[in-house]
Amino acid sequence: MHMNLIIDVGNSFVKTAVFQGDDLLEKEIIEKPELEKKIKKIFQEYPEIDQKIISSVSGASFSIPETLYEKGDLLELNSSTRLPFENLYATPNTLGNDRKALVAAASKYFKNYNVLVIDAGTCLTYDFKNDQNQYLGGAISPGLNMRFRALNSFTANLPLLSPQEEGELIGSSTSGSMNAGVVLGICREIEGTVLEYSTHHKDLKIIFTGGDAHFLSKRLKNGIFANSNFLLEGLNYILEFNNNQ
């Protein structure tokens, strides 16, 4: 059984994970400058690592640490990487690595089901895979904190806020009104999207993931399955899929 190193370079942070087959042994979220030091530490703690994959939302503009080439085979996720599903996206070369990984995980665990994956990160993304294991596409909208930053950036007097644990339908102050508009608004968007997909696609599986998934899931009315490791599991599956061909 292979031991795999998974590296997911996001817009703000880097996630590292070690898998033994399908079992997640460890994961950590770090700052980008810490990556090379972290890789060395992982190699020391897990000398059995023999396969690696790196995915970056910024693609070729991210400089891969030289240390990553030192042990075992390295798969760099890009537009030519083999995927475990049929990609029917009209512009496959523009499909983000994060979305590929999420759909790969949906293919692994729910190959013969209709699946909607919702990723609440920097952006809020929706990705749909049908019961024929075909990826059709989805949607992209501003994420939770991006919406707060937009209110601050494009107005003269609105402050820069962070999401508040307690929100009210009728905001009784400026901050309360902003929190109600952003947090409740994004929840209603998610619920409306889920309802629309459920109407058109039977037996729909819904996966909710991303950094803001835990915060938002408590405020959603629908029974949505939250999985914080879904993207990492998808990258691990892409690595195994390519090395087993």
- Whether residue 13 is annotated as binding a ligand: the answer is yes
212 token code pair? 């803001």
Identify the pLDDT of residue 71. 78
Identify the pLDDT of residue 222. 64
Burial of 10 (0-12, 13-18, 19+ CB in 10 A): buried
Taking a C-beta distance cutoff of 8 angstroms, is the pair 7, 14 a contact? yes
Tens digit of each residue's pLDDT (9 = 90 or more) over 168-183: 888 889 999 999 999 9
- Whether residue 96 is annotated as binding a ligand: the answer is yes
Identify the pLDDT of residue 240. 95
Segment 109-120 mean pLDDT:
96
Measuring CA to CA, which residue among 8, 12, 9 is closest to residue 144?
A: 12
pTM above 0.75, yes or no: yes
Position 243 pLDDT exceeds 90? no
Position 2 pLDDT exceeds 90? no
Question: What's the CA gap between 238 and 245, in Å, rounded?
Answer: 11
Rounded to the nearest 10°, the torsion over CA 104, 110, 113, 118 is -60
The one-letter amino acid at 155: T
Segment 10-22 mean pLDDT:
91
Position 226 pLDDT exceeds 90? no
Q: What DSSP letter does each residue of 200-224 carry, written as one string?
A: HSTTEEEEEESTTHHHHHTT-SS--
Segment 82-104 mean pLDDT:
96
Rounded to the nearest integer, the mean pLDDT of the chain is 92
- Whether residue 85 is annotated as binding a ligand: the answer is no
Place of tokens 């599986």: 205
pLDDT band at 223 (very low <50, low <70, confident <90, very high): low
Identify the pLDDT of residue 207. 94
Position 60 pLDDT exceeds 60? no
The one-letter amino acid at 138: G
- Whether residue 108 is annotated as binding a ligand: the answer is no
Question: What's the CA gap between 210 and 168, in Å, rounded?
Answer: 24
Q: Which helix (H) or strand (E) holds 230?
A: helix 230-243
Query: Annotated catalytic sites, by residue?
Result: 98
Share above pLDDT 70 across residues of the chain, in percent, rounded to a whole number: 96
Domains in the chain, ordered, with CATH? 1-76 (3.30.420.40), 84-245 (3.30.420.40)
Identify the pLDDT of residue 59. 60
Question: What's the CA gap between 4 and 6, in Å, rounded?
Answer: 6
Helices (H), ranges, 95-211: 97-109, 144-153, 174-179, 185-200
Question: What's the CA gap between 232 and 235, in Å, rounded?
Answer: 5
pLDDT band at 63 (very low <50, low <70, confident <90, very high): confident
- Whether residue 185 is annotated as binding a ligand: the answer is no
Position 167 pLDDT exceeds 80? no
